[in-house]
């Protein structure tokens, strides 16, 4: 199979086999080591889904006559885009928190309760994504603080507060839910927004080290 990366077809050699393995085990590590990530990938005339590459490649085996055409982005640019997306998610989480805490105490609060369930799940996913981002790319978090408290401790706190919200929800304790959102979770969300520029600075340090 011919593999074309950014219009160059002499960067990698492959034999016949299963498509997922060549992308995940061979091409992605090669690109990552050179500071690049896949932006777009086309197998013959079919664009593959980067969000779920294994499903997209299911039952596809490549042959000598096939072509895999790949376009890349600089890894750093992709990571900065991820940080930008995280910032957008934090903005939305803050806005939703205000709306939920204002409406949860109302008699007709069905919409607020539904939004609360979604909000708690979104916060959990967001925290997991931030943690994965920092650990995957070896971003130094030493000395980082949220509202004067150690970063990792604050992340543990927010997980605990979400558990308390779920318990309060089971007990129909709307006052506790509103208080936890307003006085415990929201300040951490705002604090995360404030230290995002520090993530970028420390990401710059990672790439500077790699280039030395």
pLDDT, tens only, 149-180: 999 999 999 999 999 999 999 999 999 999 99
Domain termination residue (choose one: 73, 91, 120): 73
Q: Which helix (H) or strand (E) holds 40?
A: strand 36-43
Q: Is the separation of the CB atoms in 20 and 5 below 8 Å?
A: no
Q: How far apart are CA 47 and CA 56, in angstroms?
A: 9
Q: How far apart are CA 158 and CA 184, in angstroms?
A: 8
Phi, psi of 140 (to 5 degrees): -70, 120
Domain with 203, as residue range(s), is: 77-211
Say whether both 54 and 84 belong to one domain: no
Q: DSSP secondary-structure letter at 52? A: G
Per-residue pLDDT of 21-58, as tens digits, reads 888 888 888 888 888 889 999 999 999 998 888 888 87
Domain termination residue (choose one: 33, 57, 73): 73
The pTM for the full model equals 0.75
How many domains, the chain? 2
Q: How many helices (H) and strands (E) does the chain have?
A: 8, 8
Say whether both 49 and 107 belong to one domain: no
Burial of 62 (0-12, 13-18, 19+ CB in 10 A): buried
Q: What percent of the chain has pLDDT over 70?
A: 97
Q: DSSP secondary-structure letter at 9? A: S
Say whether both 140 and 204 belong to one domain: yes
Say whether both 81 and 67 belong to one domain: no
Query: Could you tell me which residues come within 8 angstroms of residue 93 by beta carbon, excluding any fewer than 6 positions away?
Result: 119, 122, 123, 126, 189
| Tokens 């520029």 sit on residue | 197
Q: Is the separation of the CB atoms in 85 and 22 below 8 Å?
A: no
Say whether both 141 and 41 belong to one domain: no
How many Cα atoms within 13 Å fall on the side-chain side of residue 40? Answer: 9
CATH number of domain containing 45: 3.10.20
Model confidence at 209, pLDDT cuts 50, 70, 90, reads low
Per-residue pLDDT of 119-152, as tens digits, reads 999 999 999 989 988 887 788 888 999 999 999 9
Domain termination residue (choose one: 27, 53, 73): 73
In terms of phi and psi (left: phi > 0; alpha: psi -120 to 50; beta: otherwise), the region of 7 is left
Say whether both 90 and 47 belong to one domain: no
């Amino acid at each position: 199979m011919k593999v074309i990366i950014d219009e160059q077809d002499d960067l990698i050699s492959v034999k016949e086999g299963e498509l997922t393995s060549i992308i995940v085990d061979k091409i992605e590590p090669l690109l990552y080591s050179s500071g690049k990530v896949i932006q777009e990938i086309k197998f013959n005339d079919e664009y593959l889904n980067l969000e779920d590459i294994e499903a997209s490649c299911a039952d596809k085996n490549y042959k000598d006559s096939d072509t895999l055409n790949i376009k890349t982005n600089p890894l750093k640019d992709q990571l900065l885009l991820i940080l930008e997306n995280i910032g957008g998610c934090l903005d939305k989480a803050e806005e939703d928190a205000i709306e939920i805490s204002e409406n949860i105490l109302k008699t007709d609060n069905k919409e607020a309760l539904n939004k609360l369930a979604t909000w708690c799940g979104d916060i959990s996913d967001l925290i997991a994504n931030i943690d994965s981002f920092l650990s995957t790319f070896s971003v130094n978090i030493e000395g980082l603080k949220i509202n004067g408290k150690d970063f990792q401790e604050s992340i543990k706190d927010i997980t605990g507060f979400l558990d308390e919200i779920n318990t309060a929800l089971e007990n129909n304790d709307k006052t506790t839910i509103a208080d936890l959102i307003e006085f415990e979770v929201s300040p951490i969300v705002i604090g995360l927004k404030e230290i995002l520029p520090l993530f970028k600075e420390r990401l710059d340090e990672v790439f500077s080290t790699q280039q030395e």
